[in-house]
Amino acid sequence: MNPNTAEIVAKLWKECKTLQSAGVSYSNYVNELTYLLFLKMLEETGQENRLPNGHCWSKLAKMEGGDQLEYYKSMLLELGNPKKTKDPVTLAIFTDAMTHLRLPKDLKTLTTNIDKLDWFTAREDGLGDLYEGLLEKTTSATKSKAGQYFTPRALIDSIIRLIKPKPGEVIQDPAAGTGGFLIAADHYIKDETDDLFKLSDAEGHFQRHQAFVGHEWVPDTHRLCVMNMLLHGIENIVGCEDSCAPQGEHLGRADVILTNPPFNKMSGNVNRPDFTLTAGERVGPMPFLEHAIRSLKLHGRCAIVMPDNILFGDGVGTELRRFLMANCNLHTILRLPTGIFYAQGVKTNVMFFSRETKKIMPADHKKQATKEVWFYDLRANMPSFGKTNALTDKHFEEFEKLFGDDPLGASDREEQGEDGRWRKLTREQIAERGDNLDWTWLRDESGDPEDDMTDPDEIAAAIMGHLRAALDEIEALSEELEDAPEPEAAE
């Protein structure tokens, strides 16, 4: 992050500490800043015509006391009302918006401090970087309570370098979060096209308005996603929808799918009419994997973060893996270190695959799209990651070199042997393992990474992660017992 941008982020974040005593949480504070920064940004960029009924930043900022707070509350209601606000981006930002500020002095402090910022420098350095800095502060501050798992930037950037998104491709994230994957793909394409100047006007319009699609079901997170993408020059609005519901079909087919779906099973069951394997299952990682398989175009490529149990689970899990390998070339699995997500103890992987069938084939189809799967173990004998030891691009250097330049996984590859991190299994060998993809061969002598934790937030996050995992196991066992046939009564 540019030093000037970092300074602005620090100034804005300083107010959060003050407002905590007034009952404003970290996440509520970032929502509050989203509303105010959006209004200020429209003034700075001459786009206040997006706002209805003469609403504008200057009118809000010059007001005082209770009048300012009352006007702010009424303005939020109007901007989120589809009968009064027609601009789709403004409506997406302010739908169900409400302020958590209760004291007029707190609102005045925020509007005054936002007005004092060096907006010329902020625009030059990139408003998107400023906003991402605030999001990073929030996720770091609330990680012990986070229901979602935020993907580390180093991992996102590594995946983007391997998948190589191109101009003209439809890039989708069905569980978009704050938009990290879509924004990183946009950065990559802009770097390759001189900030889109190498493209025609029509191609540039496609990139800004149609290339990036997705859903984010949590309303507050969706709001942050829309704002984040807008500040990075992407005007296509991610929907506030559940991709495991019928609306998920509306996302359409994609050239590239990049996603880190929720690891925990969510409330509600999958009711997608096009799903066959995970229909009726609890919303969680498995239905998102089925979505990715079905939604890829022919030779489309996917990188999806999945918890370990997707690699070895029985029943639907086994059928889903067979379904994946029948329709897609699952060419690479990256075993990630523990502790890189905000729920410590969660063990995850990135599955890289490409769609190889024109129409969906059943799991037992004789012709398998997957011939062999390469594994890179970045988990065994790795240090503990956290505040004092961040995951960086350097940790992925060897993996990226071994993966090769072909985003479809077709580069020449050579095994490292039993002592190396890079090995493969043929489709026949996987079948002999009962289609279990949870393969380890290195002896891990690093011990439990959680033993080295000293930060209270990281310890709390680890405890929460283990409790959630235990609850998932209990729920799974309960569901199995409910589904088990009752014994016949003796005559």
467 is a domain residue = no
- Nearest to 29, CA basis, from 129, 122, 165, 142: 142
φ/ψ of residue 411, rounded to 5:
-65, 155
**Based on the domain organization, do 23 and 120 belong to the same domain?**
yes
473 is a domain residue = no
- The C-alpha angle with vertex 205 and arms to 231 and 203, in degrees rounded to 5, equals 125
Q: How many domains does the chain have?
A: 2
Tally the residues of the chain.
491
Residue 331's CATH number:
3.40.50.150
Which of 101, 136, 171 lies at the terminal end of a domain, its last residue?
A: 136
CA distance 312 to 426: 17
For residue 296, list its beta bridge partners: 254
Angle, helices 3-20/26-44, rounded to nearest 10 degrees: 130
Give the H or E element holding residue 20: helix 3-20
Q: Are 301 and 354 in contact (CB under 8 A)?
A: yes
Which of 413, 432, 447 lies at the terminal end of a domain, its last residue?
A: 447
**Based on the domain organization, do 361 and 301 belong to the same domain?**
yes
- Nearest to 390, CA basis, from 341, 333, 447: 341
**Based on the domain organization, do 295 and 415 belong to the same domain?**
yes
The CA–CA distances, whole Å, from 152 to 27, 139, 218, 334, 422 equal 18, 11, 20, 15, 22
Three-state secondary-structure class, residue 296 = strand
The whole-number pLDDT of residue 383 equals: 83
Better-scored residue on pLDDT, 131 or 51: 51
Angle, helices 3-20/127-141, rounded to nearest 10 degrees: 40
251 is a domain residue = yes
pLDDT, tens digit, 9 for 90 and up, residues 467-477: 655 666 566 55
pLDDT, tens digit, 9 for 90 and up, residues 337-363: 987 875 556 789 999 999 999 999 999
Three-state secondary-structure class, residue 301 = strand
- Of the listed ranges 139-153, 251-265, 296-310, the least confidently predicted one is 139-153
Better-scored residue on pLDDT, 229 or 449: 229
The whole-number pLDDT of residue 444 equals: 84
CA distance 172 to 292: 9
- Nearest to 237, CA basis, from 252, 226, 249: 226
Tokens of 481: 């017992």
Q: Are 294 and 243 in contact (CB under 8 A)?
A: no
Q: What is the arithmetic mean of pLDDT over 277-296?
A: 92
Q: Are 348 and 400 in contact (CB under 8 A)?
A: no
Total-model pTM = 0.87
- The C-alpha angle with vertex 433 and arms to 428 and 438, in degrees rounded to 5, equals 110
pLDDT, tens digit, 9 for 90 and up, residues 109-147: 999 988 888 777 777 667 788 888 888 877 766 554 444
pLDDT band at residue 47 under the 50/70/90 scheme: very high
**Based on the domain organization, do 177 and 31 belong to the same domain?**
no
**Based on the domain organization, do 88 and 146 belong to the same domain?**
no
Residue 67's CATH number:
1.20.1260.30
Residues 6+ apart with CB under 8 A from 21: none
Three-state secondary-structure class, residue 255 = strand
Q: Give the strand pairing for 328-335 and 348-355.
A: antiparallel
Q: Domain range for residue 88? A: 3-136
**Based on the domain organization, do 93 and 152 belong to the same domain?**
no
Quick one: CA dihedral 415, 340, 257, 195, positive or negative?
A: negative
CA distance 44 to 34: 15
